[in-house]
Amino acid sequence: MYELSTSSVSKKQLILEIRGKAKIQCDLKRHLSPKTVGIIMRSLPLEGHAHQLGNSIFYFETNIDSGIERSRSEFKKGDVAFLPSTGSICFFINDIASGKTMTPIGQLGENIDALKDVKSGDVFCIYEDAA
């Protein structure tokens, strides 16, 4: 009999920290975009200044260079995506049909509304959950 591990090869549990404010569980899902998720996982930890795009997207820029993979332009609240044109990791706080196509990479856990308190100059940090 095999035991299934909670830390799966296809899903990586990370923490998105809004430095000094909140921590949100963030799952990267390899089956959504294997190449992009692999590059991000090898680049952890990542951090950058928080930016807001409209009322629905928070993001931070990275040095990650990965082309578009399994592109989508519609996302739901809690989705996490990669925007290849700027190397940004994007977090959605509302459902949106974006003008930009992005690579879907994962999902935020509970406490998504903590993102609504993000201010310009706040720092996002994403890293592996050590627990």
Q: Assign residue 65 the CATH number of its domain.
A: 2.40.100.20
What gap in Å lies between CA 111 and CA 131, rounded to an integer?
18
Let me know if residue 2 belongs to a domain.
no
Residue 75 CB: number of other CB atoms within 10 A? 21
Q: Which of 49, 23, 58 is nearest to 123 (CA)?
A: 49
Domain that holds residue 115: 12-128
Assess whether the previous peptide bond of 45 is cis (omega < 30° from 0).
yes
Let me know if residue 113 belongs to a domain.
yes
What gap in Å lies between CA 26 and CA 22, rounded to an integer?
13
Domains held by the chain: number: 1
What gap in Å lies between CA 106 and CA 28, rounded to an integer?
4
Q: Mind listing the pLDDT tens digit of every residue in the chain (131 residues)?
A: 444 444 445 888 999 999 999 999 999 999 999 999 999 999 999 999 999 988 899 999 999 988 888 889 999 999 999 999 999 999 999 999 977 899 999 999 988 889 988 988 899 999 997 75
